[in-house]
């Protein structure tokens, strides 16, 4: 009887150990996934900052050298950035004019013929939309002295488009009724990017800088 009890207890203990190992394994996987996501987001922020700074630095030099779209009235600079080696390592030119980040989000750099600014559009997929949006707005804030403005659009599950935040302005134009990009707090950025959560299909952030 004692041996049977000991055997039963041993089996229960073994199952308990296996359960603990299973919990630890799940926790380990979750911790690893969280660490990898943080690494990808940090890489995204660093590379996005490089891309924005390259756009600002070369904005005047690349005028007239992009792919012209007469129907839409603007030229796109993806291939120009590729040719000049201005696309950071974690991003890549993956189509005729579009750049893709390390999360697979589409980025395009453009200028309307009659405008005096160069722009960047960033179309964010919903899977990690809020985190990517926070990266974009934080990076834009870091470049508030050189940017003209940023704004956002998003669509819901019915495909209806909405303006998310209105415009936030760089140092040259902000003040009065025009919200200053430089004054954004972390809580403000967090609230702004709530529109880019998983319930939305697409969230697009636009930022632009004066040519001169």
What is the reported pLDDT for 4? Answer: 47
Nearest 5°: the CA angle 133, 36, 105 is 35
Nearest 5°: the CA angle 165, 168, 173 is 150
Nearest residue to 210 via CA among 142, 141, 139, 116: 116
Give dist(CA 40, CA 105) in Å, integer: 13
What is the reported pLDDT for 29? Answer: 62
State which residues of the chain have pLDDT below 50: 2-8
> For the chain, how many structural domains are there in total?
1
Q: Extract the tokens encoding 107.
A: 């980025």
User: Tens of pLDDT along 115-157?
Assistant: 889 999 999 988 788 899 999 999 999 999 999 999 988 776 6
Q: Extract the tokens encoding 91.
A: 């991003």
Domain that holds residue 139: 2-210
Give dist(CA 181, CA 207) in Å, integer: 11
As separate numbers, helices (DSSP H) first and strands (DSSP E) second, the chain gives 4, 10
Nearest 5°: the CA angle 165, 60, 47 is 55
Query: pTM value?
Result: 0.80
What is the reported pLDDT for 85? Answer: 96
Q: With contact defined as beta carbons under 8 Å apart, do 45 and 135 qualify?
A: yes
What is the reported pLDDT for 71? Answer: 72
What is the reported pLDDT for 36? Answer: 86
CATH label of the domain that carries residue 178: 3.30.1690.10
What is the reported pLDDT for 7? Answer: 44
The mean pLDDT of the chain is 83
Give dist(CA 153, CA 165) in Å, integer: 8
Nearest residue to 55 via CA among 109, 92, 121: 109
Residues 6+ apart with CB under 8 A from 127: 103, 198
């Amino acid at each position: 009887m004692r041996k049977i009890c000991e055997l039963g207890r041993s089996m229960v203990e073994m199952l308990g150990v296996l359960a603990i190992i299973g919990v630890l394994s799940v926790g380990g996987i979750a911790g690893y996934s969280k660490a990898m996501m943080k690494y990808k987001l940090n890489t995204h922020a660093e590379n996005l900052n490089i891309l924005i700074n390259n756009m600002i630095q070369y904005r005047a030099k690349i005028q007239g050298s992009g792919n012209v779209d007469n129907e839409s009235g603007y030229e796109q600079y993806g291939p120009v950035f590729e040719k000049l080696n201005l696309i950071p390592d974690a991003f890549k030119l993956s189509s005729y004019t579009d750049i893709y980040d390390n999360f697979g989000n589409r980025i395009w750099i453009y200028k309307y013929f009659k405008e005096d600014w160069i722009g960047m559009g960033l179309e964010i997929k919903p899977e990690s939309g809020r985190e990517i949006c926070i990266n974009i707005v934080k990076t834009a804030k870091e470049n508030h002295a050189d940017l003209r403005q940023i704004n956002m659009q998003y669509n819901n599950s019915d495909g209806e488009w909405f303006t998310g935040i209105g415009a936030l302005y760089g140092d040259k134009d902000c003040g009065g009724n025009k919200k200053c990009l430089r004054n954004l707090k972390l809580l403000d950025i967090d609230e702004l990017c709530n529109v880019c959560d998983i319930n939305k299909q697409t969230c697009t952030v636009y930022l632009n800088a004066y040519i001169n």
